[in-house]
Chains A and B, each alone.
Chain A
Amino acid sequence: MTIFAVFDIGLVVLILGIAVSTIAARDAFAAVIGFVVYGLLLSIAWVRLAAVDVALTEAAIGGGMTGMLMLGAVARLRFAGGNDISISLPVRFATAVLCALVAAGLAIAVLSPPDAIPTLAPMVMENLAQSGLGNPVAGVLFVYRALDTLLEKVVLILALLGVWSLAPDSVWGGIPGLRVYARRSSTLTFLAQLLPPVGIVVAIYMCWVGAKEPGGAFQGGTVLAAMWLLVMIAGLKRVPSIGQPWLRPLLVVGPVIFLAIGLAGMVLANAFLAYPPGYAKPLIVAVEVALTLSIGVALGLLAAGPLEQAQQQ
């Protein structure tokens, strides 16, 4: 048994243990913490599976956003007394059966792969040089499956519209109900002043390095969103009302530029979302920069939650 195998088995046992303790937790808070830890451990597992791109996303989403979002939900439940609502036995049973079915389906798919796994990976590696990109994941996302990537970003905006539409009519165009830290805390203020500049540099780095090595718009955008949330929670900057003139253009600039370049491809390169020869890399980097901004704003507003307050004049 190699030392790699020992490490991997230890990691898998730990991840399974944390998963079981998360499911078994009686208290919502303990379950959320278990889930955050589970996500962070998964990022180490993705590294061991040589999927560093996924590991980066998992670290940013699991470490930065999920904890923020779910602990906020726990606080809201406490505030609203939602913890007292008891769920009837049949509903619990149905939930357990559905979860078990999903887990069993996944297990069957993973445990019994076909003899020859269908893959296009060799073709991607052969043709990657034409795009000028060094990161095969970015190549697949922006060259071969660009339509999927475009639709993913549109889905993010649709999700945000879904959250916004939970608000009553009277506060439409108002301010999201992000719970901020009530007590002025010098510690939190210090963190919110020191960390965001570092975070912005990391976000730019993630976005830039994505063309060559693991990284990219989604990871960069998530870092931006987390930094923005930190500044708002510490009370250094107010949560903006969604009617702000700067906010909506930022939200759509990424998908719009992507779509515009895609449409231009119909004329210049004879196919929707195709890039003219020789210009692939600069165009992709431009799309990534715009997408980073849009993803940052969209994720930040998703975590800020539905609207609760009318816009102040």
Chain B
Amino acid sequence: MNLALDIFTVSAVSAGALFFLAGTVGLLRFPDSLTRLHALTKVDNLGLGLVVLGLLPQTNGLFGALKLVSIWLLVQLSGAIVTQLIAGTVRRRGSNG
């Protein structure tokens, strides 16, 4: 049982780390601010989500697990808001800022 949980943790955390790498590649390669926002908020949120998912079996108790999930939810909210605010500013300025 423990081994299965450990394998789950390793695979989920590894997948999350890969998404962080993908997000960074996106920031490097995408041509303008609006597309780079996708790389930052969507891909990194997925990365954090997978890391949280992977760490869930390692927490002790329901409270710790709830805290991990709420961190992910908070980051998702912030990601959505930040994207909207920055994209709105880009649009009003009519250029790449």
A188 close to chain B: CB less than 8 A? yes
* A187/B84 in contact, CB under 8 A: yes
B85: A residues at CB distance < 8 A = 185, 187-188
Interface residues of A in 181-213 (CB under 8 A from B): 185, 187-188, 190-191, 194-195, 198
Task: With both chains docked as a complex, state the minimum distance between the C-beta of B67 and any C-beta of chain A, in angstroms.
Answer: 9
Interface residues of B in 35-78 (CB under 8 A from A): 70, 74, 77
* A194/B88 in contact, CB under 8 A: no
User: Which range contains the number of A residues in contact with the other chain?
Assistant: under 10
Interface residues of A in 37-56 (CB under 8 A from B): none
A-B contact count (CB 8 A): 15
* A187/B81 in contact, CB under 8 A: yes
Task: With both chains docked as a complex, state the minimum distance between the C-beta of A145 and any C-beta of chain B, in angstroms.
Answer: 31
A191: B residues at CB distance < 8 A = 77, 81
A187: B residues at CB distance < 8 A = 81, 84-85, 88
CA distance A260 to B1 in the complex (A): 57
A185, A187, A195 interface centre (most CB from chain B within 10 Å):
A187
Task: With both chains docked as a complex, state the minimum distance between the C-beta of A55 and any C-beta of chain B, in angstroms.
Answer: 15
CA distance A187 to B89 in the complex (A): 12
CA distance A255 to B76 in the complex (A): 38
* B88/A195 in contact, CB under 8 A: no
* A194/B77 in contact, CB under 8 A: yes
CA distance A187 to B85 in the complex (A): 7
CB nearest neighbor in A for B85: A187
B88: A residues at CB distance < 8 A = 185, 187
A185: B residues at CB distance < 8 A = 85, 88
CA distance A185 to B77 in the complex (A): 16
CA distance A190 to B80 in the complex (A): 11
A194: B residues at CB distance < 8 A = 77
* B84/A195 in contact, CB under 8 A: no
Question: 5 A–B contact pairs at CB < 8 A?
Answer: A187-B84, A187-B88, A188-B81, A191-B77, A195-B77
